[in-house]
Amino acid sequence: MKIYTKTGDGGTTGLLYGGRVPKDSVQVELNGAVDEAQAHVGVVRAHASGELAEICRELELDLWILMAEVATQTGKRDHLVPGKTLVTESMVAHLEELIDQFSARFAPPKEFVVPGEEVAAAFLDVSRTVVRRAERCSLGFVREAPDSFVQVYLNRLSDLLWTLARWSEGASLTARQAKHA
């Protein structure tokens, strides 16, 4: 099987459950930003271990679900399966639980954060900015699918990534302090 199909050479791309849209459509732009965010989260996972790596893998899988929903024409949304190809309210609630859980582990910064204190945190911040772009792209999509949780999920995901970055910086600082004590 060849990786190239030539079906996109005319400037369109195929959707889940059929149909084609221009490659500069809202759906494709949104999925491109989410795909980029997922790749950045994968970089975090490659540099992380333990709990952070597990959460990153879970987020990457969630983003596949989100991309499946976005890659479906409005008229075929009835084909989507909650939690498999459709973002659910419970997926958003899970992100909120993680935000609360990790926020309780560190004191919030009292000033603006300058990314780059620690590798995983820096990559989390890059991931967060890409997710924010995806969220902005999602506004056109959710106008066509007002029952979708895509925009809300992306909003909470960016909050979670910020939280994980601050937690990761604190965990790294604690480890460095213990090493030098």
How many other CB atoms are there within 10 angstroms of residue 168's CB atom?
25
- Ordered by start, the domain boundaries in the chain are 21-100+113-174
The helix (H) or strand (E) run that includes residue 22 is strand 20-22
Average model confidence (pLDDT) across the chain: 91
Q: In the CATH hierarchy, which top-level class contains the domain 21-100+113-174?
A: mainly alpha
Residues in the chain: 181
What is the pLDDT at residue 177? 45
Q: Residue 178: is its pLDDT beyond 50? A: no
User: Mean pLDDT over residues 111-131, rounded?
Assistant: 93
pLDDT (average), residues 21-47:
95
Output the pTM of the full model: 0.90
Written as one letter, the residue type at 50 is G
CA 56, 58, 61, 62 dihedral sign is negative
Percentage of the residues of the chain whose pLDDT score is greater than 70: 94
